[in-house]
Amino acid sequence: MAIDASFWVAISFVIFFGVLIYLKIPQKINEVLNKLISDIKNELDESEKLRSEAKTLLDNAQAKLDTAEKTSKDILDQVKKESENLIIETNDKFHKNAELKKNLAENKIAQMKEAAIKEIKDTSIKIAIDSVKKIITTAVDKSKLDNLFNKNLEETKAALKKINS
């Protein structure tokens, strides 16, 4: 049997594996790999936990956003209703004030008209009384009386024209 290089390689290979097993290297490698697997599992669990927390926070934030949008829409609707009511109320007040001013103006015009009629009546009565006084004091013939009447009539017309102007 010739001992050649491949024999020594095989012997050294067996010795190498024997030393590895004797020094418990495969168990140590297995322990290191198990530790790495455990660390990776822990990191995966931690990342899953963080993902679920992030999802919960996202859901809460979305719920708050939805609530805020609903609240803002409700506020806008309420403000819109209040502004419409305010416009209607202001419009009603305006029309009531306009109607009140119109009635006051009509009353004032009616009072001025009554005052003018009263003044015309008073002036007419005064002119008539003055005419009667003149007629009585001047008791003259019929032609003078007609002239006086026509003259007083013209004065009355002129006085009435002045009042109406």
Within a domain: 7: no
Q: Which domain holds residue 86?
A: 49-164
Q: CA-to-CA distance for 89 and 82, rounded, in angstroms?
A: 10
Q: Give the position of tokens 């599992």.
A: 41
Domain membership flag for residue 27: no
**Is 95 inside a domain boundary?**
yes
Residue 72 inside a domain? The answer is yes
* Residue entry with tokens 């010739």: 2
Contact indicator for 145, 135 with CB cutoff of 8 Å: yes
What is the total count of domains within the chain? 1
Q: Is residue 88 in some structural domain?
A: yes
Whether the model clears a pTM of 0.75, i.e. scores above it, the answer is no
- pLDDT (tens, 9 = 90+) of the chain, 165 residues, equals 567 888 888 889 899 888 878 888 888 888 999 999 999 999 999 999 999 999 999 999 999 999 999 999 999 999 999 999 999 999 999 999 999 999 999 999 999 988 888 888 888 888 888 877 776 666 656 677 677 778 888 888 887 777 776
Q: Is residue 6 part of a domain?
A: no
